[in-house]
Structure 1
């Protein structure tokens, strides 16, 4: 399918699709007239990409793990493991942010809030 049709079906802009193609996240072939031709499986793949992004995965993580998962017989278990890893990162970041918040809160109303605590 051509880029306009894929954009319409996925709700992504043509620029986004071109970016994904440049970064290797999406593959097309060129027709003799120079138009891009995307395979039918591009549409479900892009839904996967959008869902993974919404769950906090970067495009680099999606590109790396997407290739791993497509070849894995235990894809569901591997995906669950990736979710557990992402949850651990979120928990660590949440703890860092809570410590930062406590530090900032402790400095409110002090005579010199930028002095070492």
Structure 2
């Protein structure tokens, strides 16, 4: 689902920032931050207030879930663009998850190697001497 595109006026079913915050459990400040990063877009009401299309609720839930899975906001922004350009979004999301899992596995292996090196040095007379 693509991010909401800006429109000249808000629609009758659009949500205020407060309503969007309540529907998603995300603070108004976080929503403004997402908007500043280009992750979501608000339309403007006649009074200049933000108005979000209802589908932005699902988009914010997607972003929060992705953050909980370890994706950065930059990765989320890039990933959303990649996903929406694909005819099969489920396959595209699965590919992103596999890539993230591979990166985490590589990081775990690197940390394990570092841990092993530290553990080996604990038994040395001078742990910082060349091994």
TM-score w.r.t. the length of structure 1 is 0.92
From 57, 60, 64, give the equivalent of 1:46: 60
What is the aligned length? 117
Q: How far does the alpha carbon of each residue in 1:29-80 deviate from its partner, in whole angstroms, 9 at most, with x for none?
A: 2222221111111100001101111111111111111122123212111211
Structure 1 position 111 matched with structure 2 position 125: yes
Q: Secondary structure at the match of 2:26?
A: coil
Q: Which runs of 5+ in 2 are unaligned?
A: 1-14
Give the unaligned 5+ runs of structure 1.
none
TM-score (norm 2): 0.83
Q: Deviations over 1:79-109 (max 9, x none)?
A: 1111211111111111100100001111114
* 1:74 pairs with 2:88: yes
Which one has a larger percent helix, Structure 1 or Structure 2?
1
